[in-house]
Structure 1
Amino acid sequence: MARKKDTPQKAALREMMGNYLKENNVKVKDGTDVNSIMRDMMSIILEGALDQEMDEELGYSKYDYRNKETDNSRNGHSQKTMHTSYGDMEIDIPRDRKGEFEPQIVKKYQNTVTQDMEEKIISMYAKGMTTNNIESHMRELYDIEISDSTISRITDKILPIVKEWQERPLEEIYAVVFMDAIHYHVRNEGRIVKRAVYIAIGIDMSGYKDVLGMYVGQNESAKFWLSILNGLKNRGVEDILIACVDGLTGFPQAIEAVFPETEIQQCIIHQIRNTTKFVSYKELKPLMADLKRVYAAPTEEIALAELESFDEKWSGKYGSVKLFL
């Protein structure tokens, strides 16, 4: 019986499967039987789709020779083993005499109906797994043998794409460019080491945000940022109106050396962090509450008044507010 939300196609399929289960005495509790049914269903669907692709390729359906307008024709089938989450299954791939048929539902060298295998390998590689680990993982999880050379060939595919993205031309002027580094741990030659990823994010004059570049270095330094800034200039950036950076020593000087007219704005978060260095832990919460009123002020006049009040309250213990900001 069809359910209320079933489409006509789903209702027909539900009735067909119900009859199939009854006629073949399938034990629903037995996972082996269910897996076998799923494999049979997938193979039928895939083979049907492949036959339709061949009809489209040749321009006529099987035995419909009156509508044949090509000198190419069908040439039987070849069998292929596909790996699925329900186990391996055999499907018949149609062939043509000229060898021009390129199926899309199951591509020529594809041997799995799970998610794209190359994407899985690249994802594991990006997360720091070695080619040996990837090979073992694919064998244990999918029972698929993939050599180190094949994995290296797949991962090497992304290198030209990354290089092209890193060297693409940029806008001449950016309203704001945010520059910071993210520190993370990565496996390198069998050891876990710390690396810094330098990230430059720009907002162009139309208000659109774009990642200008991402670069991996040993650790964050003004010298490395200088090389990145020169790289941005070589890619077409002529001026940056505002550069938002942290308090890294030498960073403002590196920016001024490449873009002398750029206004440098230190990140508020880093300014607040610098403030807390001078404050005892027990007074940290009340001081931060007062400082928040300065940064959250709706206008410059109110902010200056709050800053004056903050200075009067706390300068007796920690000196002038200039020591904080």
Structure 2
Amino acid sequence: MEVELPDSLTDAFLKQLKTGEELQAFLRNLHKRGLEKILEGELDAHLGYDKHEKTPSSNARNGTQKKVIKTEFGETPIEVPRDRESSFDPILVPKRSRYSTGVENLIVSLYSKGMSVSDIEQEIKEIYQFELSTSAISRVTERVIEDTIAWQNRPLDPVYLVVWMDGIVFKVRESSKVVNKTVYLAIGLNREGRKEVLGMWLGKNESSSFWMGVLT
């Protein structure tokens, strides 16, 4: 069944997208999600065992603590995992700091399709710049991969009234250099009038053939 949209609805949809406010909110929330998973991986490495493994020592996970940090996407409330002995001090968000480490865009890009396991692991190495051991990097990578797969495979509506597609360019640090990375997004307007990011893809250049591959 063909659905005819009021001009006011489509105009408002495109206007809101162009202002960037809703896109900024999406990026902020995705960064929050990724950062929290990375911090969980840091705690796994600190304790020496994964979440569902039997505790080999007296120290253990002890819930989370709310913290508001300042990022490129604005102030962001996050849940920082804690340990029973209070000996865990996250590298990315130290206990007495309210600032992120300038890797917001890099964390967001981890959720893009087109990233292999080795790609994600390499990006995480770039985030930490030799501050974590190889085994610790592996634990963080496991946490991130589990969540990126869950996000990429989350259920979507069968029909969207409008789909908007575009690319955003991130400046990220890679091999001690600042490089540009383009992340392409597809954003849909559902039948209830809510906007939703349908997916993100890493690409070298934007073209009709690229989007045709995404849509098919």
- Structure with the bigger percentage of strand: 2
- Structure with the bigger percentage of helix: 1
Q: Which has the higher contact order (CA 8 A, sep 6+)?
A: 2
Which structure would you say has the larger Rg?
A: 1
Q: TM-score range, shorter-chain basis?
A: 0.3 to 0.5
